[in-house]
Amino acid sequence: MVQGLPVRSFKDDLYRQFSKIGKCLSSDKRLELMHLLSQGPKSVEKMAEATGMSVANVSRHLQILHNANLVRFKKKGTYVIYTLASPEVKGFLNSLWRISEMQLADVTRIKNDLMCQFGDLDTLSIGEVKRKMEDGSIILLDVRPSEEFEAGHIPGAMSVPMEDLHRYLQTHSKEIQIAAYCRGPYCVFAAEAVKLMQKEGFTAFHMEEGVYEWQEYHAQIH
């Protein structure tokens, strides 16, 4: 007994609160929206464009996430800008992706099937990219939208969104090696960028990891 109430009652109340997060994350669309927000603040309209959902549908999902205190918003002119509620939410999401890939074989299969569409890609690990950047033998491109780069990026990387990549390549010698990264292991922007660079005669490498994984790696080695 605790203050006259059974401990069981406290536990029931506690796990009922925990279940609110679980119920909120049971939608694949809400998980996708949170993944987008893990890259930086976004308007409802931007998320609708990125996900192929209607503005009304995105707004409905965001309201559910807001009710669970997983996202926050502020007004900016006529737009409503959403962010994740805290860095802990971003960490939780990345843990969810990793657990899902470890425990669900279909996640790896789907990811591999997706990447197979791009044929053979030369891939570098975070450590290899870091070493090449330090010795000046490679340029690292962040091919996400510019607002995501501004929200956070790998130190030393250059912002070259996909729509600007062809024009950017015209200013560089094909002697330089280039690596590209995007939103992490489940994003195809970097793979698309590497295929384009290879097609134009550049020695290009794909880095599967994104900003969050780079930060984790950096923390581990220091």
- Which residues are the active-site residues? 182
Closest CA to 32 of 54, 53, 63: 53
User: Apex CA 163: angle with CA 93 and CA 144, to 5°?
Assistant: 20
Q: For tokens 């090696």, name the residue.
A: 177
Closest CA to 143 of 103, 196, 102, 88: 196
The strand pair at 79-84 and 138-142 is best described as unpaired
Task: Please give the Cα distance from 63 to 54 (Å, whole number).
Answer: 14
Contacts for 25 with CB less than 8 Å, ≥ 6 apart: 31, 34, 96
Task: Please give the Cα distance from 156 to 133 (Å, whole number).
Answer: 8
